[in-house]
Every structure is written in C-alpha cells, then in structure tokens.
C-alpha cells in the first residue's frame, strides 16, 4: 500500500481559529492524501474548489475575509494527482473527513469515486440550520457521486489497513483515517487535531461544533499516540515540513 501526501494550497487566518485565545495569524497547509491500496485508490480529502484559484471572494463570501487563500490551478487535487500519473477518474473512494470548504472543495474533480462520509456529517450538510451554523456549502459536496454514509468505525477494504474512525466534535460527524503501514500505524487526524499543540496542550480552536466531543476525540488520539500511532495533524505548518511530499511515499 502506497500513501502519498499533496499540498493543495495554503490558508492564512487568525491563530485563534486554530488555538482559542492566541494572537497572530497562521499560514496553514491544505493537505490531501492518496492511498493506493491493492484493491482500490482512495483520496482522503480533496482540498479547495477550482474557483478559488481565480475568485476566492466570489466563492467563499465572508470566509474570504477570514482566510487569505494561496491556491494556484496546479494545486487543484486533480492536477496534483496527474503529477504522479493518476487519472482522477481512477479514484475509487473519496473519504471526506468533514464538509468544510478546504476538505471537499475538490470533490467535483473526482467523478467516479464513491464518497465515504459519516452519517451525522452528511445529515448536517443537508439540514439547513446545521449547514449554516457549520459554514458548509452544499455546492462543494452535492456533486452527484454515490455516497456511502458510515456510522462510526468503518474498515474500507476489510483488512484493517484503511479504517475510518469517528472523531466527532469539530463538526457533527468529523472522521479521521487510520492507516496501517508497513512502518507502523498512522492517523490522518484532519481537523479533529489542527496542530501538534492542539494535542500536546488539549487546546481547542475558538469555534467547534461540540466541545465535549472534540475533547473526547483528542483523548482518543492521545491514547493512540501513546501506543505508537503517528498522528498527522490537519493544518500544522511545522509538522508538514516533516511529511514527505508526493511522489515520495509516507513510510
């Protein structure tokens, strides 16, 4: 099984959005991962919508005032896949951690995939008040593919190597992806754990959907880390420097 990391743009926003109460700003990577399993190709998150390369304000509305977007057309997830010889049409599954714009914006680029999302997240994405409160944009994820709604842990290929794990709290049905590599297990935490400091200090962002659930998710990840799982933080620029970038695999 081969796992590749791609940087699909950068977002700069108030540090308090990542760590409540902190001053200053943070320039954060937008990661996507390709998991090439013998029985199928999986993309974990899809980054930003192609319109953000030319007109972020037109697409994002007020969020474009919160986040400065650095995103060229070559950072679109489909373009990043092309650099490693993978046609977007060959992707079998898109596992979306959650429905925020920097995680589902590229779903439209992946036409033949089945979308794998936690049921509470998908439901929130289609309940107007919850969608509004969580700043979801249905144009990002109502893109026509089959959707597999899972509830809790879901072993994608039945061999324990690619497992969706619920890490609710950041949003109603956030999930992370547990990968069992030859070099040991890794957890792609996504936004259940923005930064290394989030986990080291149990320090939540200023805004979460459910603080109690978010803290429980961090305790779960802390337990995994103590037992030897490497945690891949969702938007940590310092951590990101240590992650091999495609075409170099994560081992």
Count of residues that bind Zn ion according to CB under 5 A? 2
Choose the binding region for Zn ion from 53-61, 102-110, 136-144, 156-164 (rule: CB under 5 A): 102-110
In the complex, least distance from residue 142 CB atom to Zn ion, rounded to whole angstroms = 19
- Interface with Zn ion (CB under 5 A), residue from 45, 75, 79, 102: 102
137 scored as a contact of Zn ion (CB under 5 A): no
Please identify which residue in the block is written with the tokens 């109460």.
21
CA count, 13 A, side-chain hemisphere, 183: 9
Which lies closer to Zn ion via its Cβ, residue 166 or residue 205? 205
Toward Zn ion, which CB reaches closer, 17 or 143?
Answer: 17
Q: Cis peptide before 103, with omega less than 30 degrees from 0? A: no
Binding Zn ion (rule: CB under 5 A), the pick from 191, 193, 199, 218 is 191
> If you ran DSSP here, which 8-state letter would residue 20 be given?
T
Q: Rank residues 79 and 191 by Cβ distance to Zn ion and give the closer one.
A: 191
H-run or E-run covering 154: strand 154-155
* Cα(247)–Cα(237) distance, integer angstroms: 19
Kindly list the distances between the CA atom of residue 48 and the CA atoms of 66, 185, 206, 240, 248, in Å, as whole numbers in the listed order. Answer: 15, 27, 22, 18, 22
Distance of CA 181 to the CA centre of its chain: 19
Residue 161 or 189 having the CB closest to Zn ion = 189
β-strand partners of 186: 179, 230
Give yes or no for a contact between 89 and 112, defined as CB atoms under 8 angstroms apart.
yes
Q: Which is nearer to Zn ion, 161 or 170 (CB)?
A: 170
Q: Tell me which stretch binds Zn ion (CB under 5 A): 55-63, 99-107, 139-147, 215-223.
A: 99-107
CB of 194 to Zn ion, least distance (A): 8
By the criterion CB under 5 A, which residues form the site for Zn ion? 102, 191
């Amino acid at each position: 099984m081969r796992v590749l990391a791609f940087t699909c743009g950068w977002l700069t926003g108030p540090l308090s959005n990542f760590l409540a109460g902190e001053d200053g700003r943070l320039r954060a990577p937008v990661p996507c991962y390709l998991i090439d399993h013998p029985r199928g190709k999986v993309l974990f998150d899809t980054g930003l919508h192609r319109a953000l390369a030319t007109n972020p304000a037109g697409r994002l509305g007020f969020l474009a005032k919160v986040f400065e977007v650095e995103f060229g057309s070559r950072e679109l997830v489909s373009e990043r896949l092309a650099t490693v010889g993978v046609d977007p049409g060959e992707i079998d599954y898109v596992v979306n951690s959650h429905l925020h714009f920097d995680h589902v914006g590229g779903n439209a680029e992946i036409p033949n995939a089945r979308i794998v999302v936690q049921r509470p997240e998908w439901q929130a994405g289609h309940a107007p008040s919850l969608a509004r409160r969580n700043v979801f944009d249905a144009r990002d994820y109502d893109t026509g593919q089959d959707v597999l709604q899972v509830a809790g842990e879901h072993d994608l290929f039945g061999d324990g190597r690619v497992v969706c794990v619920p890490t609710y709290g950041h949003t109603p049905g956030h999930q992370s992806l547990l990968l069992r590599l030859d070099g040991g297990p890794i957890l792609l935490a996504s936004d259940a754990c923005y930064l290394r400091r989030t986990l080291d200090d149990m320090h939540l962002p200023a805004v979460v959907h459910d603080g109690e659930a978010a803290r429980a998710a961090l305790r779960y990840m802390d337990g995994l880390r103590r037992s030897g799982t490497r945690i891949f933080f969702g938007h940590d620029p310092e951590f990101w420097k240590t992650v091999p970038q495609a075409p170099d695999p994560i081992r």
